[in-house]
Structure 1
Amino acid sequence: MKLFTVGPTEMYDEIKFIGGKQVPYFRTKEFSDVMLSIDCLLKKYLHTSRESKIIYLTASGTGAMEATVTNCLSNKDKILIINGGTFGERFKKICDLYSLNSTEIKLGTNEALTETHLARYDNCGFSVLLVNLHETSTGQLYDIKMISKFCKKNNMYLIVDAISTFLCDEYHMDENDIDVTIISSQKGLCVAPGMSMVAINSRILKERVMNNNVKSVYFDFNNYISNIERGQTPFTPAVGICMQIYQALKMIDKLGLEIYLERIEKKAIDFRARIGKLPLTIPKYPLSNAITPIIFKKPIAIDIFKSLKNEYDMIVNPTGGVNEDYILRIAHIGNNDFEDQKKLVECICKILVRYE
């Protein structure tokens, strides 16, 4: 079976080899050294200072989103949320659950985020902006420089879910004045699901995290910060996933980040060129290199998803909600090459003939 999904991805052989090995005991110097190496490499590729702290959670991305809200925000905040799809909506649900004061910029189908959307909230007393920089449910990649400029002008904290843009598109945490970055193991890192990481810069660390009295045993960031200094987590991590992350980061380091990202970009360009003559469209808003949403004229997306899976052993991302009958999402990350994409497009063509 071949995965063209954004997470889990089609994993590289080197990662699968690590996944097949005995999981080591973790309260050792050797495992601490692994975690400290991971910490160093993640900061390098996030383009953030060594003074930033990274929290290592054995949780899904949603767990990291909720933990970030509870550790970094308070009921005194006035929060602005970019809601362009499923994951923007999830930030809103988390804030509502904790009875936080939040307002959403809700984007319609095929609607791109613009300066006009943000300008309506200028000088309105907002203290925090939450955004899923690549809204995976739609494929839209928001303009981080535009968002950062708005936050800086309004003296707001900027909290970014970068789960499906980190190691897929260029990402510069410090350059864009991002206070918090949330990432997970199963997207750009191309390893198994199981770990999520939260990178926190020194400003929000000192002003919020260290002073928030979080009512949680497992999700208190201060506990994680003190433990990672010795290369450990306060509770048992997904040790095997940590070893896979270490292998993935070493592979990227050997290849070079620029080349790694360039390969993904070229695959995205190649796929979009190949589908150009098919009876479907792609959104006009800016897209991440991670995925391409393909939009069918007829409500056949679910049927095509099933045909690809059952007849050709190929798995793509379906789309939930109002678009489930019309949109599929094709990932360009993981161990797939141009020839794999060519075969996928050929299979889609064969299936489409049935609906002419």
Structure 2
Amino acid sequence: MEKKVYMMVGPTTIPQRVLNAMNVESFSHRTDKYSALQEKVTTNLKKIFNTENEVFVLTSSGTGAMEATIQNCFSAGDEVVVPTIGKFSDQYAHMCELYGLNVIRVPFENGETADINKVMEKVTPKTRGVFVVHNESATGVFNDIEAFGKALKDTNALFVVDSVSGLGGLEVKMDEWNIDIIFTSSQKALMAPPGLAFLAISDKAWAYVEESKFPKYYFDFKLAREHNKKNQTLVTPTIYTLLAVNESLNIMFEEGLDNIYKRHEENTQMIIEGVKRLGLALFAKDEKFASKTLTAIYVPGKSKEIVKALGERGVIVNGGIGALAEDVFRVGTMGYVSKNDVLLFLNALEDVVSKIN
């Protein structure tokens, strides 16, 4: 195979138009030119978040947005509930614990989605927040964010959503689904280099910001809000990544968001059907909740061998992480992935499986 096929979980493939958009002379983040760029990006991101709330630009990965949420909306001793379905939801619970929050974990097996009824059993009037990962990229499973939002609507808890590997590939309706804080990052379905996170925050969450007692500066939402009035950031952002996101959003709106979501579903379904034909299994325990931005494939003890063999055939995918490193490999369909890419992957996988078996 002459041309490599990149189907990674992130960073994802960057379209040539996006690469070209970064090929400009340097300019300051305190200029009108920069402010116009940030205003356009955040305005367009509101359409993808489906919100009237402010969108902030954070110079960090998605993990930085996770930490910023804890720092700005909570205080030591606050009770929060975290359903854990894989590495990244577990990481969020761990970060809350490091800050001294009273974390009520609701654990589920790897490959399972969170059972909302079991989670809600742990939510009490004392619960200050419920942290839910939209799309668990370690296991290839998504949570039903709309249903969580309905369940949490009339509670005191902030509904916090990590949509790092979801937004842009999975539909999100922040306002309609009663989400209080949601964030993503630049290097996933937004088809840009790493370096930026984007976070939207509700009026309900702002009241919690006023009560938070944690010290902060770099990620201070109050300072971010003051600078957002000028379409600027507190500190120097990764300007070139913002240029990239601006162009990737242009591409996304040209295709149409509904078409993008449909493409992700169709590409994922092609992979699922192809994997089954080869006698392999999804890692997701319920196909209904199998992620539409990546597919985790269960190959006990063979993950690294398969990833290496696919790479030798020009198809770049990701292995499993943590406890799943030997048994799962992951194929990204998020962002700039076509049906032809999927077909090339399946052809290469068929060849690899025939030789391994």
TM-score when normalising by structure 2: 0.94
Contact preservation (8 Å) 1:80, 1:103? yes
SS in 2 for 1:231: coil
Q: Which moved more, 1:212-221 or 1:230-239?
A: 212-221
Distance 1:20 1:284 in 2: 44
For residue 302 of structure 2, what is the aligned residue in structure 1?
300
1:7-62 superposed Cα distances (whole Å, 9 cap, x missing partner): 1111111111123433333221111011111111111111111xx22221111111
1:143-177 superposed Cα distances (whole Å, 9 cap, x missing partner): 11321123224332100001111111111001110
Distance 2:113 2:205 in 1: 29
SS in 2 for 1:127: strand
SS in 2 for 1:325: coil
Distance 2:99 2:59 in 1: 22
Contact preservation (8 Å) 1:2, 1:10? no
SS in 1 for 2:82: strand
Q: How does 1:55-94 map to 2 (within 5 A)?
A: 55-94=56-95
Q: Which moved more, 1:333-342 or 1:237-246?
A: 333-342
Distance 1:292 1:155 in 2: 35
**Cα distance change, pair 132–112 in 1 and its aligned pair in 2 (3 A):** closer
Contact preservation (8 Å) 2:104, 2:122? no
Q: Which moved more, 1:268-277 or 1:7-16?
A: 268-277
Return 5+ residue gaps in structure 1 as ranges: none
CA RMSD of aligned residues (A): 1.6
**Cα distance change, pair 122–59 in 1 and its aligned pair in 2 (3 A):** closer
Q: How does 1:124-139 map to 2 (within 5 A)?
A: 125-139=126-140
**Cα distance change, pair 326–8 in 1 and its aligned pair in 2 (3 A):** same
Contact preservation (8 Å) 2:74, 2:213? no
For residue 264 of structure 1, what is the aligned residue in structure 2?
264
Q: How does 1:96-245 map to 2 (within 5 A)?
A: 96-123=97-124, 125-205=126-206, 207-245=207-245
Distance 1:254 1:277 in 2: 35
Contact preservation (8 Å) 2:85, 2:111? no
Distance 1:146 1:336 in 2: 29
Contact preservation (8 Å) 1:7, 1:190? no
TM-score when normalising by structure 1: 0.94
Contact preservation (8 Å) 2:224, 2:234? yes
**Cα distance change, pair 23–334 in 1 and its aligned pair in 2 (3 A):** farther
Is residue 22 of structure 2 the alignment partner of residue 19 of structure 1? yes
Number of residue equivalences: 351
SS in 1 for 2:160: strand
SS in 1 for 2:188: coil
